[in-house]
């Protein structure tokens, strides 16, 4: 993970991504660069990101989503569902980064899916699709469930287990990967028998914003 030359790190733009992911293709670079204008345009019509956060889109949303890639490099063919994707996080940044995996982005709020669909179309992401549905209505099986700020672990676990595939293809067993604030209190709500790992996002990214952010993995 090298600093590319010629990029200033003082502003919130795609260079924050390039700082940590230096081996992107030109297509990936272009897609990450398109996220800023796309979300500004759509957020003016349908508010899926707070006004304060839209000025920190790459730090608070794009790079935060990519913390999952610090934890696991999904193998080609992996199927991932983004539960409660909101405006498309973490699913869309991950779909850009892992073009050989398939992402299903779900949300029960129709207007959020409108934005997700528009971004997927503009980026020409062939490996991502949306579902305007609740998790209970999904019929397919997935290798991983990813999510950010949707529900507590004791709710996420039964939702996830129902749709996780039993076929293993990755370095980590299939399971739930959730981006969280400090999860220690909610982990008291789940069984000690559940295998879990809690990793500070600062293991992957050095920005102060991530000092109180964690990644929670629970094996399915």
CB 170 within 8 A of CB 149: no
Q: How far is CA 176 from CA 41, 84, 208, in A?
A: 32, 13, 26
- pLDDT reported for residue 136: 84
The pLDDT score that the predictor gives to residue 61 is: 97
For residue 19, what is the enclosing H or E element?
helix 15-20
Q: Decide if pLDDT at 2 tops 80.
A: no
Pick from 98, 103, 101, 96: nearest CA to 128 = 103
Strand order in 79-83's β-sheet? 128-131, 102-106, 79-83, 144-148, 175-180, 214-219, 196-200
Over residues 64-93, mean pLDDT: 97
**Cα(141)–Cα(207) distance, rounded to whole angstroms?**
35
Q: How confident is residue 215, by pLDDT bands cut at 50, 70 and 90? A: very high
pTM exceeding the 0.85 threshold for the entire prediction: yes
Question: In what helix (H) or strand (E) does residue 185 lie, and over which residues does it extend?
Answer: helix 184-187
pLDDT at 108 over 80: yes
| pLDDT at res. 101 | 98
Per-residue confidence (pLDDT) for residue 135, from 0 to 100: 83
Helix, coil or strand: residue 29: helix
Domain boundaries, given as residue ranges, for the chain: 15-219
Residue 147 Cα to chain centre, angstroms: 6
Residue 180's closest CA among 59, 102, 90?
Answer: 90
The mean predicted confidence, pLDDT, of the chain is 93
The CATH-assigned architecture of domain 15-219 is 3-Layer(aba) Sandwich (3.40)
| pLDDT beyond 70 at 5 | no
Using the CB atoms, write b or e for 136-158: b if 16+ within 10 Å. Answer: eebeeebbbbbbbebeebeebbe
Asked if pLDDT for residue 149 goes beyond 90, the answer is: no
Share of the chain above pLDDT 90, in %: 86
pLDDT > 70 fraction of the chain, expressed in percent and rounded: 95
Q: Give the start-end residues of each E strand in the chain.
A: 79-83, 102-106, 128-131, 144-148, 175-180, 196-200, 214-219
Which pair of tokens denotes residue 183? Answer: 């999860």
């Amino acid at each position: 993970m090298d600093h590319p030359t010629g990029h200033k790190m003082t502003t919130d733009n795609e260079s924050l991504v390039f700082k940590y992911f230096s081996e992107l293709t030109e297509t990936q670079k272009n897609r990450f660069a398109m996220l800023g204008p796309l979300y500004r345009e759509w957020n003016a019509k349908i508010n899926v990101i707070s006004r304060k956060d839209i000025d920190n889109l790459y730090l608070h949303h794009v790079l935060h989503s990519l913390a999952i890639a610090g934890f696991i490099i999904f193998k080609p063919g992996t199927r991932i569902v983004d539960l409660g994707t909101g405006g498309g996080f973490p699913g869309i940044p991950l779909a850009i980064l892992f073009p050989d995996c398939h992402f299903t982005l779900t949300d029960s709020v129709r207007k959020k899916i409108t934005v997700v669909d528009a971004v997927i179309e503009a980026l020409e992401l062939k490996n991502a699709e949306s579902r305007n549905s609740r998790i209970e209505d999904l019929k397919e099986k997935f290798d991983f469930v990813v999510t950010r700020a949707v529900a507590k672990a004791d709710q996420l676990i039964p939702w996830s287990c129902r749709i996780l595939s039993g076929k293993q293809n990755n370095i980590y067993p299939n399971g739930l990967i959730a981006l969280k604030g400090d999860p220690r209190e909610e982990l008291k709500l789940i069984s000690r028998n559940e295998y879990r790992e809690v990793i500070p996002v600062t293991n992957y990214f050095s920005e102060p914003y991530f000092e109180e952010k964690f990644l929670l993995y629970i094996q399915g």
